Structure 1
């Protein structure tokens, strides 16, 4: 996955979700807003992150966050019990 560019600032984050509370909107294809990067943090367990364009899949786990570029279509899937949150970044 991509790296966050230097100079971005975290401005918002989701609540912590588990395998049961993860919203349906995150489980199906969705995108970040223009200019917004997402950093997916897994606290416990594992999470599959699929980037649809360009096609790429990665297993995220604690210490191995996922990066989603602005407007990049993606979805996530819990791989068993897990806890995660998403942090949103943009230029100041």
Structure 2
């Protein structure tokens, strides 16, 4: 199983950075895996537009250079792991 090369701190609905709440993208060659530890988070992909509700059993995968943003759906805790190759879900 592929291990992340870096992980963000754990964020909650109050500490979730504005940069993650607005449109942004991962760098070339970087995969992001959004893991929900508690609660729910909405992941919005910009192009093509789609939305996914993330929960502790349903993480969100972000492909390299895929524009996206997240929205807290109430109390939650989350973390993003970064990989050089697609992680196993």
Contact 1:27 1:77 in 2 (8 A): yes
1:28 corresponds in structure 2 to 22
1:73 corresponds in structure 2 to 67
Contact 1:10 1:87 in 2 (8 A): yes
CA RMSD of aligned residues (A): 1.2
1:49 corresponds in structure 2 to 43
Query: Number of matched residues?
Result: 85
TM-score normalised by L of structure 2? 0.91
TM-score normalised by L of structure 1? 0.88
**Structure 2: unaligned runs, 5 residues or longer:** none
* 1:40 corresponds to 2:34: yes
